Amino acid sequence: MLNFGKAPSPIFGKCLSFMLFSSGAFSEVVLAQEKATGEMYAVKCIPKKALRGKESGIENEIAVLRKIKHENIVALEDIYESPTHLYLIMQLVSGGELFDRIVERGFYTEQDASALIKPVLDAVNYLHSLGIVHRDLKPENLLYYNPHEESKIMISDFGLSKMEGAANDIMSTACGTPGYVAPEVLAQKPYSKAVDCWSIGVIAYILLCGYPPFYDENDSKLFEQILRAEYEFDSPYWDDISDSAKDFISNLMQKDPEKRLTCEEALRHPWIAGDTALCKNIHESVSRQMKKNFAKAKWRVSDHFLSSFLQKEILH
Ligand SMILES: *[C@@H]1O[C@H](CO)[C@@H](O)[C@H](O)[C@H]1NC(C)=O
């Protein structure tokens, strides 16, 4: 029996199930408005039947999630439950996805990429200091807080590991998409915080060339590549990229988790903390590759979308 001591969502207008942002194997995320303030939130709706038998684990896990307070991490604001569902009320971010914004800009450099990776490292370092491993870091989970040009980047969508964390799930999410999971995860070895550092390395790789380090149409071949940590800094795409950037990535995408940089070490790497990231414009080739390799997200919560939705569906 889950007990969060609250009645089912009295403050929310309605749970708009047709406003599906995303639908995982176990849960869906919908948009909701707080009646008193008009504030919008993203609500993750988890059917309780998915949690059966794991209630005490989930309660502990949610207690930990509620402690997370970091400017680059989407906050869990509140929790409600109904007889059938658990609702996680999450801070709503409206600035769109990382890659979309890179494609849209006209000028983009290693320094920009370094400035994007730094807050991610900082946020994940914070999670690691609380003993939390994110385990599902990927570009789709990096969202801009708001549409402003100077918007900060936010890590979103924490899974509940008790519910979504089985190795099988990670294997299946990796299927057919560019892999962000560390070799030790695919090898089904015990894994730790270092898996997040690997994923940050993969994200940094893509930020500098626009294509994923591992790719094969055949999933079993893709998994083999990742298991062997078999990737290259291909010419001509990497010709103009600094050795420091390559060193940074190589030390994060290091097959042996023991030798991999921790977030703390990565934050001290000269490509992040120093001045080795180059200021040459690499927008043209990176954005061309990004457009080719990463299809546009199906659902994006742009301000325009939000405001037209609000007029049509909530205010009337
Ligand atoms: C994928 O690769 C594996 C190993 O090389 C091979 O056995 C399998 O037939 C391939 N599958 C497809 C669908 O091509």
Q: What is the SS3 assignment for 199-242?
A: HHHHHHHHHHHCCCCCCCCCHHHHHHHHHCCCCCCCCCCCCCCC
Half-sphere exposure for 163 (CA within 13 Å, toward CB)? 23
Which of 57-61, 131-135, 163-167 is the least confident region? 163-167
Asked whether residue 79 falls in the same domain as residue 128, the answer is: no
Nearest CA to ligand 1 atom 14: 218
Instruction: Give tens-digit pLDDT for 244-277.
Output: 999 999 999 999 999 999 999 999 999 999 999 9
Domain that holds residue 212: 96-287+304-309
Domain boundary among 91, 113, 139: 91
Asked whether residue 123 falls in the same domain as residue 254, the answer is: yes
Instruction: List the catalytic residues.
Output: 136
Q: Is residue 296 part of a domain?
A: no
What is the reported pTM? 0.81
220 lines ligand 1 (CB under 6 A): yes
217 lines ligand 1 (CB under 6 A): no
Asked whether residue 123 falls in the same domain as residue 190, the answer is: yes
User: How many domains is the chain built from?
Assistant: 2
Task: Decide if pLDDT at 315 tops 60.
Answer: no
Provide the 10 A C-beta neighbour count for residue 304. 10
Nearest CA to ligand 1 atom 3: 220
Looking from the CA of residue 221, the nearest atom of ligand 1 is: 2
- pLDDT on residue 306: 44
Q: Is residue 178 part of a domain?
A: yes
Q: What is the CATH classification number for the domain harbouring 74?
A: 3.30.200.20
Between CA 84 and CA 93, with CA 90 as vertex, the angle to 5 degrees is 140
> Cis omega before residue 183 (within 30°)?
no
Q: Report helix, strand or coil for 291.
A: helix
Q: Is residue 278 part of a domain?
A: yes
Asked whether residue 46 falls in the same domain as residue 165, the answer is: no
CB-based contacts of 1, cutoff 8 Å, min separation 6: 55
Asked whether residue 161 falls in the same domain as residue 111, the answer is: yes
